[in-house]
Amino acid sequence: MSKRIGMEIALAAAEAVALCRPDVIAAYPITPNTHIPEHLSDIVAEGRLDAEFICVESEHSAMSACAGASGTGARAFTATSSQGLLYMDEVLGIVSSMRLPVVMAIGNRAISGPINIWNDHSDIMTMRDLGWLSLFAANGQEAVDMMIQSFKIAEDAAVQLPINVNLDGFQLTHMVEALFLPDQKEVDRFLPRRKPYAALHPDHPVTMGALGMPDIFTEATKARDQALVDSRKVILKVWKEWEKQFGRRYEPIEAYKTKGADVVMMTMGSMGETAEIAVDELRKDGVPVGLLKLKLWRPFPFEEMKKAVRGVKTLIVTDRCCSLGGPGGPLAAEVRSALYAEAARPVIENALIGLGGRDVTVDDFKQMFRQAGKSKGIYEFYGVRG
């Protein structure tokens, strides 16, 4: 039976990972994800989990160790943030191209500089195009649930791709929340042992990560892209199974009070919880507003996106990072390309908010709702001084 506990979300996420019985955990500490692997090392040291915990000397090694372990058929896990993710970068595309279902938690933090340890989404966006599946948790319960779902999604015979679960640094990682933690029996029932497509073993030679010349690279890339596109079906299936067993519903884009809404806000991650309160308060005053919370970042849910904005006049897409010198925020860019070919589409505004840990309050969301339709240019740094 699931138990309802109050726990720091990073620790709860670590407990959830332990329930998935990973064989290998390789991690290097970096704020604000540190409590996740730290707590896992405690769990291993206490003998509660029979796993190899590798204290690596860098994130590059952490991801390399996960790649090697996953190649042998092991269930591998790591976690990181910000600069640590950048240090892994070289290996991230290798892991996805080799179709290794490594699971990674990212305690989202700004990419420096100026040097900053606080939350935004600029870290995950640097690995947007590297072939990983990507989920965003809005609260501690989702972080726990997504950790467990991730192993099942990644290891599915039709997927075999690495996946990252994004938890906003501090806003989620360091927050104590009341949540349901499933027990071992329940997780064992939900998540079978990994059955690898192939595994490194001296008795059965297999080459992983071979050279791909110009005469095969296009075909290999098309196959990778298709694998991500096709993973959507499995993600939806796993979420259905989760709902059936645990009663909590997951969908690529969660709609909150969008019925009859003229203006709709879109968020990723923990800001959705704050935005909900703003929607409630404005609705009470008779202002028809709503909210869309994106949970599935890769593969991007194009079809769900089109459906979600039917009848909406203005869509305010929030981005917790800036594509410097580009089209504003990465989420808005994706939303715009998803809706470009639609005959009827809302006016799309893009607010860059919550950068480098700046608080975004209920009043900020209400203010953004009130300013809807007044944005100059295709994106705006909300609340920027000057």
Partner 1 sequence: MAQKKWPETWQEVTPGCMIFEGGNSREYHTGSWRAQRPVWDNAKCIKCGICYIFCPEACVKEDARGYFAADLDYCKGCGICAHECWPGAITMIEEG
Residues in touch with partner 1 (CB under 8 A): 97-100, 160, 197-198, 205-210, 212, 216, 218-220, 222-223, 226-227
User: For residues 227 and 316, which CB has a smaller minimum distance to partner 1 in the complex?
Assistant: 227
Q: Which is nearer to partner 1, 95 or 332 (CB)?
A: 95
160, 98 in Cβ contact below 8 A?
no
Is there a cis peptide before residue 37, judged by omega within 30 degrees of 0? no
The residue type found at 362 is V
What are the phi and psi torsion angles at 305 (to 5°)?
-60, -45
- Residue 178 or residue 216: which is nearer to partner 1 going by CB? 216
Based on the number of CB atoms within 10 Å of its own CB, is 84 exposed (0-12), middle (13-18) or buried (19 or more)?
Answer: buried
- Work out how close the CB of 97 gets to partner 1 at its nearest, in angstroms, rounded to a whole number: 7
**Which of residues 58 and 226 has its CB atom nearest to partner 1 in the complex?**
226
| Nearer CB in complex with partner 1: 97/166 | 97
Residue appearing with tokens 């505004």: 349
Give the contacts of 165 (CB within 8 A, at least 6 positions apart).
Answer: 13, 103, 104, 105, 106, 135, 137, 143, 146, 147, 150
Contact partners, residue 249, CB within 8 Å, separation at least 6: 239, 243
CB of 21 to partner 1, least distance (A): 24
| Beta carbon of residue 157, minimum distance to partner 1 (angstroms, whole number) | 9
d(CA 94, CA 47): 32
Q: What's the min distance (Å) between Cβ of 235 and partner 1?
A: 18
Beta carbon of residue 205, minimum distance to partner 1 (angstroms, whole number): 5
Closest approach of partner 1 to the CB of residue 48, in Å? 33
- What phi and psi values does residue 261 have, to the nearest 5 degrees? -80, 130
* Residue placing its CB nearer to partner 1 in the complex, 97 or 270: 97
Distance between terminal CA atoms of the chain? 54
Minimal CA–CA distance to 323: which of 313, 314, 335, 332?
A: 332
Q: Are 292 and 253 in contact (CB under 8 A)?
A: yes
Smaller CB separation from partner 1, 34 or 96 = 96
> Considering the complex, what minimum distance in angstroms separates the CB of residue 320 from partner 1?
32
